[in-house]
Structure 1
Amino acid sequence: MLLDTETCYTALQSRDTRFDGSFFVGVSSTGIYCRPVCRAITPKAKNCSFYPSAAAAEAAGFRPCLRCRPELAPGLAWVDAESRLARMAAQRMEADGLSDQSIADLAESLGVADRHLRRVFAREYGVPPVAWLQTRRLLAAKQLLTETTLPVMQVAMDAGFGSVRRLNAIFRQRYGLAPADFRKRNGDGQDTTESVTLSLAYRPPLAWGTLLRFLEMRAIPGVEQVEDAAYQRTVAVNHKGATLRGWIAVENKPERNQLAVRVSASLFPAVNQVLARVRFMFDLNCVPGEIEEKLGEMRAGGQKVFEPGLRLPGCFDPFEMTVRAILGQQITVKAARTLAKRMAAHLGEPLTTPFEELTVTFPTPARLCALEQPVEDQLGPLGVNGARARSIRALAEALQSGAIRLGPGADPEREMANLLRLPGIGPWTVQYLAMRALGWPDAFPHTDYGVKKALGNPSEKDMLALAQQWAPWRSYAAISLWNHLGHADGEVP
C-alpha cells in the first residue's frame, strides 16, 4: 500500500476518523506508534513516519501507544481486486490464528501459490504474513492484559502463543516489559469469573438502531435477540477440534466509537475467533464515507433512501444464517423464524445464559450430518419440506467436508459458484448469502420482490442498469431499499 506523507499527516492533525485503521504513524521522538485518531499532542511532521499496518510499524521498531491502543483499530474493507487476496488472508488469520495451518496451507486454501501470497501480502501490509500474524497475537495479548484479569498463562494460550514462555520472550523483546509488569502498569481489567467485556472500534457514523432492527426482525427465538439496544445470542464455535458453547452480548458505545462485546467465560479460549466474527457481523471494517459518497444521493420513489452510517449486516454463524435463508424461501419472515426456532429447539443443545429467552445453541453442521437418513424424515415433522431438508443436509455436508467455506476470509466469487451447485439454492439466494454470509459489498438480488417494489417495479434490464451506478456498493444499496420499505426483504427473510 502506497501512503502519501502529506495526506497522512493532514489526517493525523485533524484526527480524521475516516483514516482510522488505514495507516499508523510512528513517532521517532518517542519510539511509539499511534492511530491517526490519537488524542495525544500531534508530533512534528519531521518526527513522523507512516505505515500500512500495525505490524509494519512494529517491524520498524515502534511500540504501541497506550492511549489510542492500536489493537482496537478497525480493519480495511476489501472490495478492490488488487488487495482482495491479501485481505482475505488477513481475515482468515484474524479469525482462526492459523492454529493448525501454515502460510503454505493458507495459500493453498485460497487457490494461489505460497510465494504469490507472501508477495501480495507484503505489498498490502508492509510485512510478511508471519510478521503480521505475530503482531496480531501480541496486540490480542495486550488487549487481554489491559481489559481483563485473566492469568498470564491463559492470555498466552488465548492469544495464540501456545506457551507463557513464548509470550514472555516476544512481549519483552517487542515492548520492553514482561506481560505481568505491563498489566501492573496499564491494566484496568474486570473480574472474569463469568464473562469479560472487550472493545472493538469502528469508523463513525454507525446507524446502530437501523442495524439492530434488521437483525431483530430476523432473530431466531431461543438463539438470538435484541433487547435494550443490545444484540445478544448463544454461541457454538469449533476451536482446535472441540465445540465451545457460550453466549455474547454486544452494545454500542458511540461516545468512544466502539462496540462493547461481553463474552462468556466458556468462550475465552476462542476469544479472537469470537471477536473476528463480531467484526464481520457488524461490518466494523466499513469505511462509511466511501459508501456515502457513492450512495448518498440514492433515491427510490422520489425520496432519498440512504442513511449515513449504514452497515452491511453480516452474521455470526454462517451455517445458521444460511439455513434460515433456505427455510425462508417463498414464505414470510415470521414463518421462517418459526421453522428455525423448531430446528434449534429439537436439534440444538440446551444452554444456560443470563438472558431468560436465550436457551439453546443452533445445531452445527456436524449435528445435521449425523441425522439418520433420509433427512426429510427428521426435519419433516418440524414443518420443513423435503426439498429444503435436502438443501440443508447438502449445505451441512459441504461445510463439514470443506467443499464450501463461508464467513470471514472466504472468497465470495468462488463460494458463490460453489453454493449454486447445491440443490435448492438458486441465483437469488446466492446473492443474499453473498451479502450476509460472505460479506461481499457488491452483491445485488435484482429479482427480490422488495427491491423491485422499492424501485417501482422496473424491468430486469432497467433494474440492473440502474444498480450499476451503485457499484461497487450494491449490497448496501439493497439494504437501503429494504430499510426504506420498512419491512423485511422479499423471498428470503
Structure 2
Amino acid sequence: MNLDPDTCYKAVASHDRRFDGRFYVGVSSTGVYCRPVCAVRTPKRENCSFYESAAAAEKHGFRPCLRCRPELAPGHGLADISGRLAQAAATLIDEGFMAEGSVAALAARIGVTERHLRRLFDAQFGVSVLEYAQTQRLLLAKRLLADTALPVTEVALAAGFGSVRRFNDVLKTRYGLTPLALRRRAADGVADRLVFELGYRPPLAWEAWLAFLATRAVDGIEDVRDGAYARTLLVDGGSRHLGWVRIEHVPRRLVLRVTLSASLARVIPQALGKVRRLCDLGCRPDVVDRHLGELAQAVPGMRLPGSVDGFEIAVRAVVGQVISVVQARRILAALAERAGQALPDTAPDSLRFAFPTAAALAALPPQTLREAGVPAGKARTLQALAQRVADGTLALDAHAPPEQTVAALRAIDGIGDWTAQYVAMRALGWPDAFPGTDYALRKVLGVSTVRAMHERTAQWAPWRAYAAIHLWHRYEAVKDEMKGAQAATPATTEPETMT
C-alpha cells in the first residue's frame, strides 16, 4: 500500500471517514498513533508520520490512542486492497489463529509458502507476521479491558496470551500501562453477556440489510425485531462454543453494537470476525456506490449480507432451489430442530438451536431428511455437500479461492450455477459473484437469457454481488406495489429463488 503523506494529512485534517482503518497516523509530539477520524486537535504536519497498519505504527515506537482507540477501526474487504492473500492471513490472525497456530500453519491455511507469506506481510503491512499478531493480541486485550468486566485472567486467555504474567509484561513494555489502568469502566450489570462496538464506513443501508435477513430468518435460529438482528452462534475455537449474538445499529456513533452471550468469552475474536463478515464491515461504500452509479443512488451504502457459517449458506441455497422463501424457511427450521444443538435455557426464547454442522447433517438418516420436508434429490445433494465439508475436501469460508470453490460446488450433483454463485456471494464474500439465472434478477432487468444477463451486468463488475442485492431490493419494492393490483386477480406463482 502506497501512502501519500499529503493525501493522508488532508484526510486527518478533515476527519475523513473513508480513510478510517486504511492507515494510521503517528504523532511524534505525543508518542501515540491515531485513526484518521480521531476527534483530538489536528496535529502539526511536521509531527505526523503515516503507517499501513497499527502494527507498523507500534513497530516505530508509537502507542495506541486511548481516545479514538485504533482497535475499533473498520477492516478491509476482500477486493478492497491489492494484497488479498496478505489480508486473508491478517483476518485469520485477527480472529485468533495464531493463539494455537504457527506462521507455517497460517501460510498453509491460505495456500502459500511460509517464505512467500512473510514477503507479502512485509510489503502489505510493513511488519512481520509475528509483529502483526502481537499487536492484534494487545489491541484485543485493550478492547476487552475497556469494554467488558472480564477478569484479567480471562482477558489474557481470550487475547491469546499464554499466561497473565506474560500479558502484564508485554502490556507494560509496549504501552507503559497495567491492566487496571486500561480498565475504563465497571461491568454493565449484566453477567451473561458481553457488549462491543464495531465501526463501519458510512453510509450504511441498515434497514435494507436488516430487511434482507428478516425475509430469510429461520425460526429458532434467527430473530429480527425492534430494529435488531439476533441469531445463534456455534464457534470452533479448538473446542466448540455455543451461544448467541445480537446486532443493533447506533447511527449517531457510526457503529454496530454487538452483544455476545458470556458462553462465547473464550472465542471473542472468532465471534466478532463472524459478525464483521455477516455485516460486511470491511466494505468501502464510496468505491462500490460510485462504480454502480444510478443503481446505488436509491439505497446508498448497501452491504453484502454475508454469513457466520459458509456451510449454512450452502444448505440454505440448496434447500431454496425452485421453492418459495417461506417454504425454504420451514424446511430449514425443521432441519435445525432435528440435527442442530440446543441452546441452554439462558438464551433468548426465540433462539433455540444452532444450525446443524456438516458432520451432523452428513450423518442424518434419509428418513429424517424426508420428515423435515427435504425431497429425495435435494437430500442426496445436501448429504454429498455435507460430507465434503465435514471431511475437509471443500472449504466454504471467506478465505477459500472463489473460482475453484464455485467449480467444486458445481461438480456436486444437484448444484448448478445459481447455487454456486449464491454461495460465493454470501459464504465467500466474493464481490463479483452473480447468480445470473435468478428469476427475480431476470425479471427486474427485463432479460430472458443468460447471455443477455451477462451483457447487461458486465458494467457492474467487479461489484456485481452488490448489484444483485440492489436489484433484489428493487424487485421486493415492485412486488409490494403490485400486491394491491393483483389481489383481485388469480395469479400464478413463480419460484423466488432468493433464499
Please indicate the TM-score interval, normalised by the length of the shorter structure. Answer: over 0.9
**Equivalent residue for 1:251, pick from 241, 245, 248:** 248
Equivalent pair of 1:207/1:310 in contact (CA under 8 Å): yes
> How far apart in 1 are the matches of 2:394 and 2:98?
18
> How far apart in 2 are the matches of 1:160 and 1:43?
34
1:67 and 1:159, CA in 2 relative to 1: closer, same or farther beyond 3 A? same
1:218 and 1:472, CA in 2 relative to 1: closer, same or farther beyond 3 A? same
> Gapped runs of 5+ residues in structure 2?
480-494
TM (norm. structure 2) is: 0.93
1:78 and 1:346, CA in 2 relative to 1: closer, same or farther beyond 3 A? closer
Q: Secondary structure at the match of 2:241?
A: strand
* Aligned equivalent of 1:491: 497
* Aligned equivalent of 1:288: 285
* Aligned equivalent of 2:487: none
Q: Secondary structure at the match of 1:255?
A: helix
* Aligned equivalent of 1:233: 231
* Aligned equivalent of 1:17: 17
- Structure 1 counterpart of 2:328, one-letter code: A
Equivalent pair of 1:305/1:480 in contact (CA under 8 Å): no
> How far apart in 2 are the matches of 1:228 and 1:157?
35
TM (norm. structure 1) is: 0.94
1:274 and 1:361, CA in 2 relative to 1: closer, same or farther beyond 3 A? same
Equivalent pair of 2:224/2:230 in contact (CA under 8 Å): yes
* Aligned equivalent of 1:104: 104
**Deviation digits for residues 419-466 of structure 1 (CA, Å, limit 9, x no counterpart):** 222232211111111110000011111111111111112532232122
Structure 1 runs (4+) greater than 6 angstroms displaced: none
Equivalent pair of 1:87/1:409 in contact (CA under 8 Å): no
Equivalent pair of 2:77/2:280 in contact (CA under 8 Å): no
1:354 and 1:110, CA in 2 relative to 1: closer, same or farther beyond 3 A? closer
Equivalent pair of 1:369/1:397 in contact (CA under 8 Å): yes
> How far apart in 1 are the matches of 2:393 and 2:151?
39
> How far apart in 2 are the matches of 1:32 and 1:164?
25
Q: Secondary structure at the match of 2:83?
A: helix
Superposition RMSD in Å: 1.7
**Deviation digits for residues 42-72 of structure 1 (CA, Å, limit 9, x no counterpart):** 0000000000111111111101001100000
Shift of 1:162: 2.4
Q: Give the number of equivalent residue pairs.
A: 482
> How far apart in 2 are the matches of 1:459 and 1:7?
46
> How far apart in 2 are the matches of 1:247 and 1:210?
23
**Equivalent residue for 1:480, pick from 449, 470, 486:** 470
> How far apart in 1 are the matches of 2:56 and 2:187?
28
* Aligned equivalent of 2:301: 309
Equivalent pair of 1:406/1:438 in contact (CA under 8 Å): yes
**Deviation digits for residues 154-208 of structure 1 (CA, Å, limit 9, x no counterpart):** 000111112212211211111001223332xx34543462101111110011000
* Aligned equivalent of 2:31: 31
Equivalent pair of 1:92/1:408 in contact (CA under 8 Å): no
> How far apart in 2 are the matches of 1:128 and 1:416?
32
Equivalent pair of 1:305/1:481 in contact (CA under 8 Å): no
- Structure 1 counterpart of 2:118, one-letter code: R
> How far apart in 2 are the matches of 1:132 and 1:248?
28
Equivalent pair of 1:231/1:251 in contact (CA under 8 Å): yes
- Structure 2 counterpart of 1:75, one-letter code: G
Shift of 1:133: 1.5
Q: Verify: 1:218 aligned to 2:183, yes or no.
A: no
> How far apart in 2 are the matches of 1:423 and 1:483?
31
**Deviation digits for residues 289-342 of structure 1 (CA, Å, limit 9, x no counterpart):** 0011111223xxxxx765111000001122222211111111000000000010
Equivalent pair of 2:96/2:159 in contact (CA under 8 Å): no
1:344 and 1:318, CA in 2 relative to 1: closer, same or farther beyond 3 A? same
* Aligned equivalent of 1:115: 115
Q: Secondary structure at the match of 1:360?
A: coil
> How far apart in 2 are the matches of 1:447 and 1:45?
53
- Structure 2 counterpart of 1:408, one-letter code: A
Equivalent pair of 1:26/1:57 in contact (CA under 8 Å): yes
> How far apart in 1 are the matches of 2:84 and 2:202?
23
- Structure 2 counterpart of 1:53, one-letter code: S
Equivalent pair of 1:203/1:286 in contact (CA under 8 Å): yes
**Deviation digits for residues 112-143 of structure 1 (CA, Å, limit 9, x no counterpart):** 11111111122111112221111111111000
> Gapped runs of 5+ residues in structure 1?
299-303
